Structure formats: structure tokens, C-alpha cells
């Protein structure tokens, strides 16, 4: 189902709303560098703004350019990542900084294709940085955008578990022809999903396109697709991996195995988590049963 709203109607409503409702975030300001935007986009994946902003500010103060981060160890990137979650993103940021330094004279490459060629950079990050840092007209689709378009255009409460060709086509067809407007449209759509068209408690009464929304017009039918995964935490490998990493981040000298063993009585789970951290390049084993965060560029 769809309401038949024209792209022009949606553009007008959403862009006017964004002009008033947009949050003042440091990576959106005109003086933010492409590197600052790149770092923000990696940090913001699966992590809310309120947790990202202080860490982003610390990173930009410590490593204001890709070369600054590349000159430091990947272990320091993991340490500075703190509790943002999904710490492999810290290693990917470090690896990307090394590649920018080695291949692009220490600058963030300006095109989507060049960005996509960086280690650890996926489709979303490449498109977002190309658009927000360099004004390239492209299609930026994150979780918020997918949810907004699922509701407004197709009348579904939630998007499919993974992006489909059909929804990517819908998103691309809605991108304004003018590059500057397309840039604002992309960030405005993301903001609408973050602030109004949220996953659990959408504020339809505050939505600028509520009367054009297929899901709202249809009476907000319940989601009927595949079961959505929960976010269990207590007792999971993710929780224990986080505890092991926290112990290593807190120490600037190698940590003995005994200190890590004290974090969990579940030997099988503990060893599985420690092995996975080593395999992911987040932890470096040393002689004598000691461990540390990765100290060399190769570890990233």
C-alpha cells in the first residue's frame, strides 16, 4: 500500500521540519572536517548520539587527522573506544586511517567508490561520508531511513530484517536531483527516524508527513514479517567480551591470565570469548600467559 504522495510533497514536508527540528551536533557543523564526519559515522552505527558525542570529541581532540590516528597503535584506538560497544569498529577506524595515510596522503577520499575501497568501510558509511562530507549525490540508507520509508511508502511497521532491492530502489528514487538538497534530505530522513518515527514509540502526532504515511492511513497495522531479534545482554558472550576488554583497557601494562580468569567462573565461555577477542585482533597474547591490547599496526 502507499498513499500516492509525490516525492516533492515528501521533500517539502521533511526538509521544512528538519530546518526547525534538527539537533545541533558537532559533526553537522560547517567547520567539521571530513575526518570528523567519517569518525562520527562509524561511531554512530548501532550506538545512540548521547553515548557517541563525548567519545567523538575525545577522539577528535586526540586524533584530529587520519595520520594522527594511524601513527598510534590500534590498541590505543580500542582503549579510547571505551564502552561504545562493537569494539571492532575501533580497529576498522584505525585500519581506515592507516589506508588514508598510505594511499591518500592523509586525507579522507572524496568519492563513494574510493571510500568503499577502504578497509572496514561498508556501503552505508561510504555513501554517508560521500554525501555529508563532500556533497556527492548518492543514496544513504540506515536503519532509521529504512523504517521511515517502510512506514511512509509501503505501509509496513518495520522494514525487512535485511535491505531488499525493492526498498533500496524506493530510497534511490526519492533522492532529490540537486546534490545540495539531496544531502539535506538524507540527514533529514535519518533525523525523522531518530526523533519521531522511532522503532518502539513513534510520535505520529508530531510527524510532518503523518497524513501522507501509508502505515498511518492504514491504521498502523502490526508487523507481520520475520521475528525481530531481541537484544539480550546479561550472561552473553558480548557481556563477557566487554568485561575482558574493559580489564585490558584499564591497564597500560600486560594483564596476566589470572586477572582475566577472575572475571568469570564459566571456563568454557571465558576461553571462547578470549579466543574470539584474539581472533578479532582486539587482544594480543604474549609470552608468560599475559595479554594486552594490540600494539602494532599489523594487529589491526
Q: In what order do the strands lie in the sheet with 290-292?
A: 255-256, 290-292, 284-286
Give the closest residue to 5 by CA, choosing from 289, 293, 297, 210: 210
Q: Given its phi and psi angles, is residue 122 left (phi above 0), alpha (psi -120 to 50 degrees) or beta?
A: beta
8, 41, 136, 191: the active-site residue: 41
Cell digits of residue 25: 551536533
Q: Which residues pair with 285 in a beta bridge?
A: 291
Q: How many CA atoms lie within 13 A of 196 on its CB side?
A: 23
Determine phi and psi for 61, rounding to 5 degrees.
-70, -40
Q: Cβ(68)–Cβ(39) under 8 Å?
A: no
41 is catalytic: yes
Instruction: Output b/e per residue, 224-240; b: 16+ Cβ within 10 A.
Output: eeeeeeeeeeeeeeeeb
Residues designated as active site:
41
Amino acid at each position: 500500500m502507499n498513499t500516492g504522495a509525490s516525492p516533492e510533497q515528501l521533500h517539502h514536508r521533511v526538509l521544512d521540519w528538519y530546518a526547525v527540528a534538527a539537533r545541533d551536533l558537532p559533526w553537522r557543523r560547517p567547520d567539521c572536517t571530513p575526518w570528523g564526519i567519517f569518525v562520527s559515522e562509524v561511531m554512530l552505527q548501532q550506538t545512540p548520539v548521547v553515548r557517541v558525542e563525548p567519545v567523538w570529541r575525545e577522539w577528535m581532540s586526540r586524533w584530529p587527522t587520519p595520520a594522527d590516528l594511524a601513527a598510534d597503535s590500534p590498541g590505543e584506538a580500542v582503549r579510547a573506544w571505551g564502552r561504545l560497544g562493537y569494539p571492532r569498529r575501533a580497529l576498522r577506524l584505525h585500519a581506515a586511517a592507516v589506508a588514508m595515510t598510505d594511499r591518500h596522503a592523509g586525507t579522507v577520499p572524496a568519492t563513494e567508490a574510493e571510500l568503499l575501497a577502504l578497509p572496514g568501510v561498508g556501503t552505508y558509511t561510504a555513501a554517508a561520508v560521500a554525501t555529508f562530507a563532500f556533497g556527492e549525490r548518492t543514496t544513504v540508507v540506515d536503519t532509521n531511513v529504512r523504517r521511515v520509508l517502510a512506514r511512509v511508502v509501503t505501509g509496513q511497521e518495520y522494514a525487512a530484517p535485511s535491505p531488499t532491492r525493492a526498498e533500496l530502489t524506493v530510497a534511490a528514487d526519492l533522492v532529490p536531483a540537486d546534490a545540495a538538497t539531496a544531502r539535506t534530505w538524507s540527514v533529514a530522513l535519518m533525523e525523522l527516524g531518530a526523533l519521531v518515527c522511532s522503532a518502539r514509540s513513534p510520535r505520529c502526532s508530531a510527524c510532518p508527513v503523518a497524513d501522507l504515511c501509508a502505515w498511518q492511513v492504514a491504521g498502523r497495522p502490526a508487523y507481520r514479517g520475520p521475528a525481530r531479534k531481541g537484544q539480550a545482554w546479561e550472561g552473553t558472550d558480548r557481556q563477557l567480551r566487554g568485561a575482558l576488554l574493559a580489564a585490558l583497557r584499564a591497564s597500560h601494562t600486560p594483564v596476566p591470565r589470572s586477572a582475566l580468569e577472575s572475571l568469570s567462573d564459566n571456563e568454557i565461555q571465558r576461553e571462547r570469548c578470549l579466543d574470539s577477542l584474539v581472533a578479532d585482533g582486539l587482544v594480543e597474547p604474549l609470552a608468560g600467559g599475559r595479554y594486552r591490547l594490540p600494539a602494532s599496526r599489523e594487529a589491526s
